[in-house]
């Protein structure tokens, strides 16, 4: 995590922006409840206390849950009811999910509580804020959420830590007993009151948190894909004329226009491209993986834009059941259903697979002596003795094949639960988990295209690449040697991935994208 002293404290007093979620989840930013939020919490709690004092059964306050909602619970048993809810629902299995996912889930649940429609006590919400600020992350398991009635098992694992039970990790990743960790940080465990157990577990926070994180990563990866594609076009002696603004304007998809402009700018000033612009060049058209890159990358960008709209709507939502309304009514609802998020999580996996598939096709062309326009077979120093990047492309192809499997939707696979009370579920958590794997896979595929295109551009010397693509090659050469005899390639692939993930690649090329065709 970054030095949190450099980050502003996030005031929870209304809808949160995507970058605020990322700041807390990924960079350790701290949070606090505003005075207005605390007033809202107090007002809603007064309504819940009034319902708890009534002899009329109220779901979530004085009844059981789910299929057991018909049982009225006497007052002296309601504390046990809430505690039992958390313990029984913290039923996850499998490996622990990433800390950034859990932190995103935590701040999103706190945001809903702060809206004042859940009826938890202010002290309970403040304890959740304290857990976030202490850098204590409850262990949440891979399996347990069906994406309906909220991400129940993941959220229950967080609530369990608030009770001082279960396990957490600290900033260093050390596994700790939750009760000991709370005491060491001066945090008093919560004793739950009516409605609070339900309010802590009934939300789409896990799948929404993963969507927000994936959107951040995909915006960066699509920017990278434009540049690695431009490098491949350049290395394969392709033309940049197909990216001209007037051609792109004939089909006015905004994402396409953006990607074409970025590729046009990336190729500006290339001696390699200029070398085959004259009348002696008899090639009429480039292959689709070169010529149509803006169309595919652009469609992916537009899909991300749609998903961002859905995410922003969910970030402005209050997801709980039942909810406390302004007039004091406590009403059941279906807003916890994850379908809106599940659909876009599934949707995003499709362009991820397709962008990766196109990048793999460009890589393969650079390695094939019959299609690479003068490059040595597999870009090997001594083809036959050396294999060059032959097997790096195998790795790329294996990842692309996996991405195609991950593009199969999870949201069409509803499995009824809770004695048929919850007879249709979204599977949004599963859609989010596979999207995270897909984003990682796309990073690997683009890293291998980056390695391959950089070596191919080196082999076009003495002609020089464009300033932007040349900067990308120069950056890579600080970590990975250029052409030569075969060596262990896995570390080179990992180094290229690191340059993409860290933002170093994007920063290296950004200043060179200014000029004719600059997308900004």
Q: Indicate the DSSP class of residue 67.
A: G
Q: Which fold has domain 4-203?
A: Fumarase C; Chain B, domain 1 (1.10.275)
Maximum separation of any 2 CA atoms in the chain, in Å: 91
Give 440-489 as a DSSP string: HHHHHHHHHHHHHHHHHHHHTTTS---HHHHHHHHHHHTTS--S-S----
Half-sphere exposure of 445 (CA within 13 A, CB side): 31
Host H or E run for residue 502:
helix 490-502
- Residue 138 makes CB contacts below 8 A (sequence gap 6+) with 102, 106, 131, 157, 158, 160, 161, 166, 167, 168, 178
Q: How far are the Cα atoms of 21, 91, 154, 159, 433 from residue 141, in angstroms, in the given order?
A: 21, 9, 7, 14, 11
> What tokens appear for 217 in the block?
């990563």
- Three-class SS of 29-63: CCEEECHHHHHHHHHHHHHHHHHHHCCCCCCCCCE
> What tokens appear for 450 in the block?
């980056």
Q: Which residues pair with 177 in a beta bridge?
A: 167
* 294-336 residue pLDDT tens: 999 999 999 999 999 999 999 999 999 889 998 888 888 888 8
> What tokens appear for 449 in the block?
């295209």
pLDDT at residue 415, rounded to an integer? 79
Query: Is the peptide bond preceding residue 322 cis, with omega within 30 degrees of 0?
Result: yes
Q: Considering only CA atoms, which of 212, 218, 217, 233 is closest in space to residue 107?
A: 212
Q: Considering only CA atoms, which of 173, 131, 120, 116 is closest in space to residue 24?
A: 131
* 183-241 residue pLDDT tens: 999 999 999 999 999 999 999 999 999 999 999 999 999 999 999 999 999 999 999 99
Q: How far are the Cα atoms of 90, 99, 214, 429 from residue 210, in angstroms, in the given order?
A: 20, 11, 6, 9
The structure's pTM equals 0.94
Residue 173 CA to residue 492 CA, distance in Å, equals: 27
Q: What is the bridge-based pairing of β-strands 31-33 and 10-12?
A: parallel
Residue 328 CA to residue 50 CA, distance in Å, equals: 9
Q: How far are the Cα atoms of 148, 261, 499 from residue 450, in angstroms, in the given order?
A: 40, 20, 10
pLDDT at residue 119, rounded to an integer? 93
Catalytic residue set: 59
- Residue in the block written with tokens 């609530």: 159
* Same-fold call for 4-203 versus 211-323+330-513: no
Q: Which residues pair with 383 in a beta bridge?
A: 386
pLDDT at residue 519, rounded to an integer? 47
Domain range list for the chain: 4-203, 211-323+330-513
Average pLDDT, 10 consecutive residues per value, the chain (520 residues): 66 90 96 96 93 80 69 78 90 96 97 95 98 98 87 95 97 96 97 92 95 98 98 97 96 97 96 86 83 98 98 94 89 89 97 98 98 96 95 98 97 80 82 98 98 98 97 98 95 98 97 61
Q: For the structural domain made of 211-323+330-513, what CATH number should be given?
A: 1.20.200.10
> What tokens appear for 299 in the block?
């469609």
Host H or E run for residue 241:
none
- From first CA to last CA, the distance across the chain in angstroms is 31
| Helix 78-89 / helix 152-162 crossing angle, nearest 10 deg | 120
Cβ atoms of 169 and 99 closer than 8 Å: yes
Residue 35 CA to residue 46 CA, distance in Å, equals: 17
Query: Is the peptide bond preceding residue 243 cis, with omega within 30 degrees of 0?
Result: no
Residue 153 CA to residue 101 CA, distance in Å, equals: 14
Residue 59 CA to residue 194 CA, distance in Å, equals: 10
Q: Considering only CA atoms, which of 122, 75, 115, 124 is closest in space to residue 324?
A: 115
Residue 53 CA to residue 255 CA, distance in Å, equals: 56
Residue 428 CA to residue 150 CA, distance in Å, equals: 10
* 82-93 residue pLDDT tens: 898 899 999 999
Residue 83 CA to residue 102 CA, distance in Å, equals: 21
Q: Considering only CA atoms, which of 163, 282, 270, 184 is closest in space to residue 227?
A: 270
pLDDT at residue 27, rounded to an integer? 95
Q: Considering only CA atoms, which of 227, 486, 283, 490 is closest in space to residue 376?
A: 486
- Residue in the block written with tokens 């961002």: 308
Count of residues for the chain?
520
């Amino acid at each position: 995590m970054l030095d949190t002293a450099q980050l502003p404290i996030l005031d929870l007093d209304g809808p949160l922006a995507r970058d605020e979620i990322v700041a807390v989840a990924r960079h350790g930013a701290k949070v606090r409840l505003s005075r207005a939020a605390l007033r809202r919490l107090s007002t809603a709690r007064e309504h819940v206390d009034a319902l708890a004092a009534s002899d009329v059964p109220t779901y979530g306050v004085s009844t059981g849950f789910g299929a057991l909602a018909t049982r009225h619970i006497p007052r002296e048993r309601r504390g046990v009811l809430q505690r039992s809810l958390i313990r029984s629902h913290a039923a996850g299995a499998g490996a622990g999910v990433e800390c950034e996912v859990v932190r995103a889930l935590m701040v999103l649940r706190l945001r809903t509580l702060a809206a004042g429609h859940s009826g938890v006590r202010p002290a309970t919400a403040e304890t959740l804020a304290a857990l976030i600020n202490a850098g204590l992350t409850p262990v949440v398991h891979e399996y347990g959420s069906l994406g309906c009635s909220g991400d129940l098992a993941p959220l229950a694992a967080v609530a369990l830590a608030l009770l001082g039970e279960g396990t957490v990790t600290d900033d260093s990743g050390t596994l700790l007993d939750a009760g000991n960790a709370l005491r060491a940080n001066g945090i008093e465990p919560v004793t739950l009151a009516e409605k609070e157990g339900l309010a802590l577990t009934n939300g789409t926070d896990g799948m929404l948190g993963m969507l927000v994180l994936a959107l951040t990563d995909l915006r960066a990866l699509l920017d990278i894909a434009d540049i690695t594609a431009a490098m491949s076009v350049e290395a394969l002696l392709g033309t940049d004329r197909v990216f001209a603004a007037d051609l792109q304007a004939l089909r006015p998809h905004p994402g396409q226009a953006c990607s074409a402009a970025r590729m046009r700018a990336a190729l500006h000033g290339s001696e390699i491209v200029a070398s085959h612009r004259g009348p002696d060049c008899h090639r009429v058209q480039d292959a689709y993986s070169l010529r149509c890159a803006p169309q595919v990358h652009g469609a992916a960008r537009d899909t991300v834009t749609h998903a961002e709209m859905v995410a922003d709507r969910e970030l402005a939502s209050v997801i709980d059941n039942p909810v406390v309304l302004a007039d004091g009514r406590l009403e059941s609802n279906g807003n916890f259903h994850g379908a809106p998020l599940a659909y876009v999580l599934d949707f995003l996996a499709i362009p991820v697979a397709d962008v990766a598939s196109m990048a793999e096709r460009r890589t393969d062309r650079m390695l094939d002596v019959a299609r690479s326009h003068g490059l040595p077979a597999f870009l090997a120093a001594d083809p036959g003795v050396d294999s060059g990047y032959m097997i790096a492309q195998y790795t790329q192809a294996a990842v692309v094949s996996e991405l195609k499997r991950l593009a199969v939707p999870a949201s069409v696979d509803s499995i009824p639960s809770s004695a048929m009370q919850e007879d249709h579920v979204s599977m949004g958590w599963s859609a989010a988990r596979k999207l995270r794997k897909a984003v990682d896979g796309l990073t690997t595929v683009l890293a291998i295209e980056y390695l391959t295109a950089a070596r191919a551009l080196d082999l076009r010397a003495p002609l020089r690449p464009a300033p932007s693509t040349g900067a990308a090659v120069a950056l890579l050469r600080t970590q990975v040697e250029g052409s030569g005899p075969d060596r262990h390639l896995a570390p080179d692939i990992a180094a290229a991935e690191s340059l993409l993930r860290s933002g170093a690649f994007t920063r290296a090329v950004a200043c060179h994208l200014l000029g004719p065709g600059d997308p900004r």
